[in-house]
């Protein structure tokens, strides 16, 4: 039986580790041809080698997604390698735990660049090809932090809120070209990012224990939970879902 992404040409930023890597594995199992963009070279190359050993067409591009020239070059190289891009999954991102008055302008700008400007850059580089070929799907990783705010993560929440607005704007502007753009909003995920974020919050006196996570979202979200949600939003199952977001938080936001 053909996979749900059979032959689809997919770019995943942040696909070298965490939930991005879990998504790369699931998309590959569903028949996708992959281009992975990530800052972590060794992890990205190891993953693409693993996928290729399983017969998957996969390439790795060592890219800082906030670097305009690097993004433009990686998207152009991907279009050459795969003959086009059908799906762009903007997952790369990072966080900052700091009080507002302690943040430097450079730290604020850097987080905006990695989490938000990166998505502007990848979308700007990818959309012309999608328009030319008459369609495509974009999925952006926001967070529950894009919908609610908390102390110590004002900049992070601002970036994740901006991603939701970017998502809606792209959906409206490119709908007539057969392009859909949606977002996922995860709760805490068991990844290096999630572990580091919890440790940084705990170091500032915020309790983010397993018990607290169990209270708000039942259990920690596994990378594979994100991959499954991402698959539904890039597959044709959600062909009439556009400019929307999916909470991947096991009911956390329903409590608020
Ligand atoms: N882990 C969580 O609890 C959680 C919750 C909600 C949302 N998110 C979002 O998920 C994404 C992070 O994914 P994860 O949890 O799988 O974390 P992760 O740290 O395991 O993976 C993130 C990947 O993105 C890559 N990356 C980071 N900065 C990059 C850059 N400048 N250029 C290229 N690649 C870069 C990393 O190298 C890594 O492979 C972020 O967008 C984050 O905001 C995470």
Map out the domains of the chain as residue ranges.
9-187+222-247
Respond yes or no: is residue 156 known to be catalytic.
yes
Q: Which of 95, 156, 174, 252 does the annotation list as catalytic?
A: 156
Opening angle at CA 171, ends 111 and 221, nearest 5: 55
> Cα(136) to centroid of ligand 1, in Å?
23
What would the two tokens of residue 123 be? 């979308």
Q: What is the end-to-end Cα distance of the chain in Å, rounded?
A: 42
Instruction: Kindly indicate the confidence band of residue 252, based on its pLDDT and cuts at 50, 70 and 90.
Output: very high
pLDDT recorded at residue 256? 86
Instruction: Indicate the class that CATH gives domain 9-187+222-247.
Output: alpha beta
Q: What is the pLDDT of residues 180-230, one digit of tens each?
A: 999 999 999 999 999 999 999 999 999 999 999 999 999 999 999 999 999
pLDDT recorded at residue 1? 85
Residue nearest to atom 23 of ligand 1 (CA): 14
Which is the closest atom of ligand 1 to the Cα of 190? 1
Whether 40 lines ligand 1, by a CB cut-off of 6 Å, is: yes
> Cα(114) to centroid of ligand 1, in Å?
10
- Ligand 1 pocket test, pick from 94, 118, 201, 220 with the greatest ligand atom count within 8 Å of Cβ, gives 94
Residue nearest to atom 40 of ligand 1 (CA): 93
Q: For residue 122, give the H/E element and its range.
A: helix 118-133
**Separation CA 184–CA 132 (nearest Å):** 26
> Rounded mean pLDDT of the chain?
98
Q: What is the pLDDT of residues 94-122, one digit of tens each?
A: 999 999 999 999 999 999 999 999 999 99
pTM over cut 0.75: yes
Other CB atoms within 10 Å distance of the CB of residue 134: 9
Whether 157 lines ligand 1, by a CB cut-off of 6 Å, is: no
Q: What is the pLDDT of residues 66-96, one digit of tens each?
A: 999 999 999 999 999 999 999 999 999 999 9
Which is the closest atom of ligand 1 to the Cα of 193? 19
For residue 169, is pLDDT > 90?
yes
Other CB atoms within 10 Å distance of the CB of residue 205: 7
DSSP secondary structure letter of residue 147: T
List, as one string, the DSSP characters of 14-79: TTTSHHHHHHHHHHHHTT-EEEEEES-HHHHHHHHHHHHHTT--EEEEE--TT-HHHHHHHHHHHH
Spell out where the chain has E strands.
9-13, 33-38, 58-62, 87-90, 136-141, 179-186, 245-248
Q: Are 9 and 77 in contact (CB under 8 A)?
A: no
Which is the closest atom of ligand 1 to the Cα of 141? 41
Q: Are 223 and 206 in contact (CB under 8 A)?
A: no
**Within 13 Å and on the Cβ side, how many CA atoms surround 145?**
25
């Amino acid at each position: 039986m053909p996979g749900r992404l059979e032959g689809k040409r997919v770019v995943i930023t942040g696909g070298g580790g965490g939930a991005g890597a879990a998504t790369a594995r699931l998309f590959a199992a569903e028949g996708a041809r992959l281009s992975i963009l990530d800052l972590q070279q060794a992890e990205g190359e190891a993953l693409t080698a693993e996928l290729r050993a399983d017969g998957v067409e996969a390439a790795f591009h060592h890219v800082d997604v906030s670097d305009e020239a690097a993004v433009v070059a990686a998207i152009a190289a991907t279009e050459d390698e795969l003959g086009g891009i059908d799906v762009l999954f903007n997952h790369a991102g990072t966080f900052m735990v700091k009080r507002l008055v302690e943040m430097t302008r450079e730290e604020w700008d850097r987080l905006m660049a990695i989490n938000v400007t990166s998505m502007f850059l990848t979308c700007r580089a990818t959309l012309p090809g999608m328009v030319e070929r008459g369609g495509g799907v974009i999925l952006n990783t926001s967070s529950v932090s894009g919908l609610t705010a908390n102390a110590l993560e004002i900049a992070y929440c601002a970036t994740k809120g901006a991603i939701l607005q970017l998502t809606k704007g792209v959906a409206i502007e490119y709908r007539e070209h057969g392009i859909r753009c949606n977002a996922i909003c995860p709760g805490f995920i068991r990844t290096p990012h999630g572990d580091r974020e919890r440790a940084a919050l705990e170091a500032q006196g915020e309790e983010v224990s397993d018990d607290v996570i169990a209270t708000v979202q039942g259990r920690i979200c596994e990378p594979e939970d994100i991959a499954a949600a991402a698959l539904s939003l890039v597959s044709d199952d959600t062909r009439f879902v556009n400019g929307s977001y999916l909470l991947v938080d096991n009911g956390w936001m329903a409590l608020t």
